[in-house]
């Protein structure tokens, strides 16, 4: 199947770049409410599935035992900017467990937050693992390992109890067999699922009050609410996830590498998953913002929404000479 064009870059009416991709929207009854492209093909959700990786920690009782705040729950689902705020929150959480930056296994990463980046450079200080955009997720992994009485060393290994539980939760909520996995940028396993399976998992989280039971339901609701309450912790200033969640009432979104993106709409029990085939993040952001506006979850007149729906191509003299935006099929989509 040839996946359709979802986003185009045009200049004076000429299409200079076309971003093909796939979209799946699943409703609270597990039915596929909307689909474009080959939504049955396996894909890597990358960081768009971080809420699935955090559910086992909360479900296990680790979050309650540690007395984790909403802010820390949000951080456990984050792809953050590596700002001083994000790094210090992870560091404090680790210290409360008697652990440190050295116990993380995500690897160091230069912060994307400019203030933090230049501050470190001015002090001739190398970035640490705390600045890795996944340090919150990895601190959550360590929190769960401690609670389970499992080794903290090697918590990213596929055979470790922490990752085994992530696999179980992912397979259960996606309602798919996980036949393969890859290693993510932060060294943790990333399990391949279909786009429909990923959207199904997000829909079950969106409607957790009725679709899930017991500790699983409580974990999904807590993480969903934490992300909506603390969008800064999930990403950072100037990021699509933070802006869109601030603009939406209870809306939960999460981007991932290589053009992956998910959304959770609790008020309608909808789960959305999309993938831009060429991996262009800005195209994925435009597509998701446009879909959320079409579904009535966001207001296109909100400046913090409009800037993600489309963006201008500006030349070196500051002249606007082109535009990137989603196609009509997304701007006018209707559910089955």
pLDDT tens-digit map of 144-160: 999 999 999 999 999 99
Asked whether residue 35 is assigned to any structural domain, the reply reads yes
* Owning domain of residue 119: 5-331
Asked whether residue 86 is assigned to any structural domain, the reply reads yes
Among 332, 335, 195, 180, smallest CA distance to 276 is for: 195
Q: Is 84 exposed, middle or buried (0-12, 13-18, 19+ CB in 10 A)?
A: middle
Asked whether residue 68 is assigned to any structural domain, the reply reads yes
Asked whether residue 21 is assigned to any structural domain, the reply reads yes
What pLDDT sits at residue 1? 59
Asked whether residue 49 is assigned to any structural domain, the reply reads yes
Number of C-beta neighbours around residue 221 at 10 A: 16
What pLDDT sits at residue 158? 96
Asked whether residue 105 is assigned to any structural domain, the reply reads yes
> CA 192: distance to chain centroid?
15
CATH of the domain at 209: 3.40.710
What pLDDT sits at residue 291? 98
Distance CA 283, CA 232 (A): 22
Give how many domains the chain has, as a whole number. 1
Residues 6+ apart with CB under 8 A from 73: 54, 58, 63, 222, 223, 226, 227
What is the tens place of the pLDDT at every residue in 286-335?
Answer: 999 999 999 999 999 999 999 999 989 999 999 999 999 999 999 999 99
Asked whether residue 336 is assigned to any structural domain, the reply reads no
* Residues of the chain below pLDDT 50: none
Asked whether residue 94 is assigned to any structural domain, the reply reads yes
User: Are the C-beta atoms of 11 and 321 separated by less than 8 Å?
Assistant: yes
The residue with tokens 């200079």 is 16
Number of C-beta neighbours around residue 12 at 10 A: 7
DSSP-derived secondary structure letter, 179: -
What pLDDT sits at residue 179? 73
Distance CA 7, CA 327 (A): 6
User: Are the C-beta atoms of 32 and 146 separated by less than 8 Å?
Assistant: no
Q: Is 281 exposed, middle or buried (0-12, 13-18, 19+ CB in 10 A)?
A: middle
């Amino acid at each position: 199947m040839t996946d359709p064009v979802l986003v185009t870059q045009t200049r004076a009416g000429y299409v200079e770049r076309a971003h093909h991709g796939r979209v799946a929207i699943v409703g609270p009854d597990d039915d596929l409410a909307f689909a474009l492209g080959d939504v049955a093909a396996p894909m890597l959700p990358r960081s768009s599935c971080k809420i699935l990786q955090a559910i086992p920690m909360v479900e296990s009782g680790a979050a309650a035992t540690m007395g984790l705040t909403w802010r820390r729950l949000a951080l456990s689902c984050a792809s953050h900017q590596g700002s001083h705020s994000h790094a210090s929150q992870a560091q404090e959480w680790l210290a409360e467990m008697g652990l440190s930056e050295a116990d993380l296994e995500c690897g160091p990463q230069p912060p994307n937050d400019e203030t933090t980046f230049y501050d470190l450079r001015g002090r001739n200080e190398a970035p640490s693992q705390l600045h890795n955009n996944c340090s919150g997720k990895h601190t959550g992994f360590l929190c769960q390992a401690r609670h389970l009485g499992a080794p903290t060393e090697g918590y990213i290994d596929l055979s470790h109890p922490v990752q085994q539980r992530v696999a179980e939760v992912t397979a259960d909520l996606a309602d798919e067999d996980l036949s393969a996995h890859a290693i993510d940028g932060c060294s943790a396993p990333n399990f391949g699922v279909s786009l429909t399976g990923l959207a199904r998992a997000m829909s079950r989280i969106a409607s957790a009050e009725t679709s899930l039971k017991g500790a699983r339901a409580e974990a999904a609701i807590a993480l969903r609410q934490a992300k909506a309450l603390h969008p800064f912790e999930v990403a950072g200033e100037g990021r699509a996830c933070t802006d869109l969640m601030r603009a939406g009432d209870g809306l939960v979104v999460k981007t991932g590498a290589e053009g992956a993106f998910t959304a959770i709409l609790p008020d309608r029990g909808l789960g959305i998953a999309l993938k831009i085939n060429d991996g262009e993040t800005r195209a994925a952001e435009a597509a998701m913002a446009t879909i959320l506006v079409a579904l009535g979850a966001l207001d296109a007149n909100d400046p913090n929404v409009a800037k993600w729906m489309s963006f201008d191509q500006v030349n070196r003299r500051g002249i606007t000479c082109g535009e990137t935006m989603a196609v009509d099929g997304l701007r006018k989509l209707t559910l089955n």
